Amino acid sequence: MKPVFFLREALRALKRNAIPSFAAMATVLVTVLVLGVFIPVVQATTGAANEVRGKVIADVYLKTDAQQKDVDRVERVLKSEPMIKSVEFISKDAAYKTERERNPKAYELLGSNPLPDTFRITPGNPDDIAKIKDALAPEAAGGGRTVIDPAIDEVRNREEDTNKILAVTGVVKITMALLAGLLGVASMLLIANTIRLSLYARRREVEVMKLVGATDWFIRWPFVLEGVIVGLVGGVLAIALLAVVKIAVVDPLAADFALIAAPDTIDFPLLIGLLLVAAVAVSSLGSGLSLRKFLRV
């Protein structure tokens, strides 16, 4: 009997305060809509940035006279380094083959194979590339580098490219994270404010209820349910709009153009689930908490 009573009270309040209720609902709708567009955009951007960062690699050249046991030993050393995610071995023959295909005339002229065995290493975190280089070939006092294994000839990363890639993608990622954070905070404040306004208009009513002997939760439940309804309606409408846009605009585009190495974005069902839960939670918590001030009678 109680939940039914509270629900009836919530519906009555919505009906009797149609304009503030509509404002709160519209706020939820707009916010969810913006977040729903922004979250995949942020993900796509950071995904693209990460893909670029994946291209940060270093090459470990072995001496041309390295034997198989040297190769095995160096591989073990590289694999035991925790900052390295993967190690790819390119034998001198394999390297020779690819290079000759690329430039047959020059290699014909050379006759023999001048290329060394190479390990191509991908760091777990692209920012660690310089540290990995220092670990494999520590800087000597004189300014040159000494390698940690006698079979290694040189460790090289394309320093200029690497630094540029790291700087640019770093800025992009931080900017996106900041924007996402700001948008999240702005949404919460906007919804909370709208709710507070509609509550403020009804603070006298709350005062009267308290004076008649209503407990805090007896007064609060209808407001919380009202928030749930507002969040649910606003959220569902926004998601319907998002779905329309996705089906009408984004999906055909993705199919036709196969977006540049389409980075992983969040699944649509998961996205709308998250948005709906967030809308309802913010809206109902907002109502329940904002009421606290007016309950102190």
Partner 1 sequence: MISFSGVEKRYSATDSALDGISFDIFPGEFVFLVGHSGSGKSTAMKLLIKELEPTAGEIRVAGRDLQKIPRPRVPYYRRNLGVIFQDYKLLPNRTVYENVAYALQVTGGGRREIRDKVPDILRLTGLSTKLHNYPDQLSGGEQQRVAIARAFVNHPPLLIADEPTGNLDPETSIGIMQLLYRINQTGTTVLVATHDVSMVDKMRRRVIELSEGRIVRDEQSAAYAAAESTREFAIRMRSAQG
Site residues (vs partner 1, CB under 8 A): 1, 5, 12-13, 16, 205, 207-216, 218, 297
CB of 16 to partner 1, least distance (A): 5
Q: What's the CA angle centered on 29, arms 27 and 30, to 5 degrees?
A: 70
Q: Which candidate, 36, 23, 40, 42, places its Cα nearest to that of 241?
A: 36
CB of 290 to partner 1, least distance (A): 19
- Rank residues 1 and 109 by Cβ distance to partner 1 and give the closer one: 1
Q: What's the CA angle centered on 83, arms 77 and 87, to 5 degrees?
A: 55
CB of 204 to partner 1, least distance (A): 8
- Rank residues 167 and 201 by Cβ distance to partner 1 and give the closer one: 201
- Rank residues 190 and 295 by Cβ distance to partner 1 and give the closer one: 295
Q: Which candidate, 170, 212, 196, 197, places its Cα nearest to that of 285?
A: 196
CB of 185 to partner 1, least distance (A): 33
- Rank residues 109 and 211 by Cβ distance to partner 1 and give the closer one: 211
Q: Which residues, including other chains, have CB under 8 Å from residue 197's CB and lie 6 or more apart?
A: 20, 23
Q: Which candidate, 109, 139, 136, 105, places its Cα nearest to that of 123?
A: 136
- Rank residues 142 and 213 by Cβ distance to partner 1 and give the closer one: 213
Q: Which residues, including other chains, have CB under 8 Å from residue 118's CB and lie 6 or more apart?
A: 59, 60, 61, 62, 89, 90, 92, 95
CB of 208 to partner 1, least distance (A): 5
CB of 223 to partner 1, least distance (A): 14
Q: Which residues, including other chains, have CB under 8 Å from residue 91's CB and lie 6 or more apart?
A: 117
CB of 212 to partner 1, least distance (A): 5
Q: Which candidate, 276, 266, 274, places its Cα nearest to that of 246?
A: 266
CB of 230 to partner 1, least distance (A): 17
- Rank residues 12 and 131 by Cβ distance to partner 1 and give the closer one: 12
- Rank residues 12 and 120 by Cβ distance to partner 1 and give the closer one: 12
- Rank residues 42 and 209 by Cβ distance to partner 1 and give the closer one: 209
Residue 115 CA to residue 62 CA, distance in Å, equals 10
For 284, the token pair is 């109902």
Q: Which candidate, 44, 33, 51, places its Cα nearest to that of 265?
A: 44
Indicate the angle between helix axes 18-53 and 268-290, nearest 10 degrees: 130
